[in-house]
Structure 1
Amino acid sequence: MQTTVKNEFSHVGTGVHLGRPVRITIKPAREGHGIIFKRTDVDHQISFIPANYKYLVEGKLCTSVANSHGVRVMTVEHLLAAFSGVGVTNALVEIDNEEVPILDGSSDRFVKSIIKAGIKEQEQSLSICKVTESLMVEDGSSWARFDPADKLILSVTIDYPGTLIGRQHLSLQMLKGAFIEELSSCRTFCLKADVQKMISKGLALGGSLKNAIVIDQFKILNSNGLRINDEFVRHKMLDALGDLALAGMPIFGHFTSFCGGHNLNTRLVTKLLSSEKCHNVYNLGRKEADKLLGSRYKVISMDYKAVG
């Protein structure tokens, strides 16, 4: 069944790229609403932006959506990953600037707030997208692909030669509480050598050691180090889940990427949903509901309190 949050909640923070203060408020929404952003700092008539691949706009180092009036919201991936990972399908996200706050650089605080607010099951059934044929997108030596599977599986490889990160690979079945337990607290990261380049392009203006892991070749500059040894590849999986959420419905398929990123992830979603032969959309049956990330969210809530 579709779900929404029981109670509204807010977060105040800074956009990691624009460096501007921002407040978001997540509110319950009706069945069939989906995840929709509402910019409260612009005229009401042009303020709504659905979190859907049809509204994607080109963004650097983040995922952004915009409506036909050019009103956009940047860096949506960590919030969308939280919604997807906990199983919230309908919500209104009011935001008073054009970038979602970075908070600690992960989805952790969003997830905790959603669980605290509560999740309400609604009457309308949930549609899912099932991958029926393999498809792939490439950019040089980097690539991302989908293969058919009866659940969502993420398999991600990253490679940063000459750094502490090196090559990392992880594959996870995204069932029940997997996102909360395995990925939600893993933070974004960057190389110190890239920081000035990003700033010169007007990016990473709100970045700091409080919201990102910074690596100087073989040294981590954050005093508290890593939360988990392979936090880097796990964060890339978190990003991927947030990007895949732009399908507007859960996806059952095996997602694999090699040195991928937001651009490849979102191109793959667009290609999947644009090809009738590569996917089917149907209402989720009760027997398959256990394969959703957000299934049995009450149990997940208890587990999360235990591990968080």
Structure 2
Amino acid sequence: MDGFLAAGMERRRTLKAPIGCVGIGLHSGRRASLTLHPAPAGDGIVFRRSDLGLEIPARFDLVFDTRLCTAIALPGQPQARLGTIEHVMAALAACGIDDAVIEVDGPEVPILDGSAAPFLFLIDCAGVTTTAMPRRSIEVLKTVRVQESDAPGSAWAQLEPIATPGFEAALEIDFPSSAIGRQQLSLRVTEASFRAVLADSRTFTLAEDVARLRAAGLAQGGSLDNAVVVDGPLVLNPGGLRHADECVRHKLLDVVGDLALAGAPLSARFSGSRSGHALNNRLLRALFADAEAWRWTDEALVPAFSPRAPARRQAEPVAA
């Protein structure tokens, strides 16, 4: 059964059992413990900071930092943040998981090997179960586009309607390092294609940027075990690349995770050029700011959830 952003799934899904792992945070360098828990139908995806006793819904309008990762926080509580959520969100979305609690004991999800494959392994080990509650998705009705600036050749991203329900994505990247260069990838994103094409592609950086990132307090836990590092034409990782176009595959993996913060599967086509976490989030904000750009599917089957309703932690998309 296809998982990610496909309108055809009829019932909400959650995990059969809790499962966890331990790793380090890519940017914090701190040890991080993560546990995936089942959740009641309708609760959505919620992050729980076990060290703070706080829960943060996985929502686009709670994203407050997009520097080299996607981080969410409760309004007015920047200390109650959780960073590098995009890979686990991508894995959950790909498997069609609508409801789950992601418990983490610190400010960052563990990076593991830098891809989504370890999170798929955890989900497979825990198992997936279908609930009785109908699932609805978000249909994009008109093209919504954001771009970095008005300058020619500026990075951009857009969502547009799609003829066949589901999710398609096309992305182009262009880096000065000849080990990356210009890469393009286009595919219909389903659970099967995510597993085969995107899941094992790792985060990456340029060797020349490592010292600058660490001086800024980022990439403190980065290593060749959890990131691809390129230096001009060279890939410094002993094993090289997993795929010749691993970098664009990973960027598209990030798109999957970032757009999963819509709170429900999207039925749309995504396209972008050099889009990153910031533009991906701006795209969702622009979509939900325009009431004529989207609608719920199967709306009569599923009650609407208020952002303030205590009985359900899933929220309606709201404009930031």
TM-score by length of 2: 0.86
> 1:148/1:66 Cα in 2 relative to 1: closer, same or farther (>3 Å)?
same
CA distance in structure 1 between the aligned counterparts of 2:298 and 2:17, rounded to whole angstroms? 26
CA distance in structure 2 between the aligned counterparts of 1:284 and 1:200, rounded to whole angstroms? 49
Aligned equivalent of 2:135, options 112, 126, 134: 126
CA contact (8 A) 1:86 1:180 kept: no
Alignment of 1:1-308 (within 5 A): 1-42=11-52, 44=53, 47-68=54-75, 69-70=77-78, 71-140=80-149, 141-149=154-162, 150-283=165-298
Query: What is the one-letter code of the residue matched to 1:40?
Result: S
Query: What is the one-letter code of the residue matched to 1:21?
Result: R
CA distance in structure 1 between the aligned counterparts of 2:176 and 2:293, rounded to whole angstroms? 35
Query: What is the one-letter code of the residue matched to 1:3?
Result: R
CA contact (8 A) 1:126 1:284 kept: no
CA contact (8 A) 1:125 1:284 kept: no
Aligned to 2:318: none
CA distance in structure 2 between the aligned counterparts of 1:10 and 1:176, rounded to whole angstroms? 21
Query: What is the one-letter code of the residue matched to 2:106?
Result: N
TM-aligned CA deviation for residue 162 of structure 1? 4.1
Three-state SS of the structure 2 residue aligned to 1:277 is coil
CA distance in structure 2 between the aligned counterparts of 1:243 and 1:192, rounded to whole angstroms? 25
Deviation track 1:198-244 (CA, whole Å, cap 9, x = no partner) reads 01110000000000000000000001011111111000000000000
Query: What is the one-letter code of the residue matched to 1:258?
Result: S
Structure 1: state its 5+ residue gaps: 286-308
Three-state SS of the structure 1 residue aligned to 2:72 is strand
Three-state SS of the structure 2 residue aligned to 1:205 is coil
Aligned to 1:291: none
> 1:122/1:226 Cα in 2 relative to 1: closer, same or farther (>3 Å)?
same
Query: What stretches of structure 1 move > 4 A for 4+ residues in a row?
Result: none
The farther-off stretch of 21-30 and 176-185 is 176-185
CA distance in structure 1 between the aligned counterparts of 2:22 and 2:299, rounded to whole angstroms? 35
TM-aligned CA deviation for residue 175 of structure 1? 2.6
CA contact (8 A) 1:3 1:119 kept: yes
TM-score by length of 1: 0.89
Give the count of matched residue pairs.
282
User: Would you tell me which structure has more helix in proportion to its own residues?
Assistant: 1
RMSD between superposed Cα atoms in Å? 1.2
CA distance in structure 2 between the aligned counterparts of 1:214 and 1:176, rounded to whole angstroms? 28
CA distance in structure 1 between the aligned counterparts of 2:235 and 2:83, rounded to whole angstroms? 27
Deviation track 1:53-93 (CA, whole Å, cap 9, x = no partner) reads 12111231110111133311001000000000111110011
Identical positions, percent: 39
TM-aligned CA deviation for residue 95 of structure 1? 0.7
TM-aligned CA deviation for residue 181 of structure 1? 1.2
CA distance in structure 1 between the aligned counterparts of 2:89 and 2:29, rounded to whole angstroms? 20
Deviation track 1:85-135 (CA, whole Å, cap 9, x = no partner) reads 111110011110010000000000100110111001001011101110001
CA distance in structure 2 between the aligned counterparts of 1:119 and 1:24, rounded to whole angstroms? 18
CA contact (8 A) 1:23 1:96 kept: yes
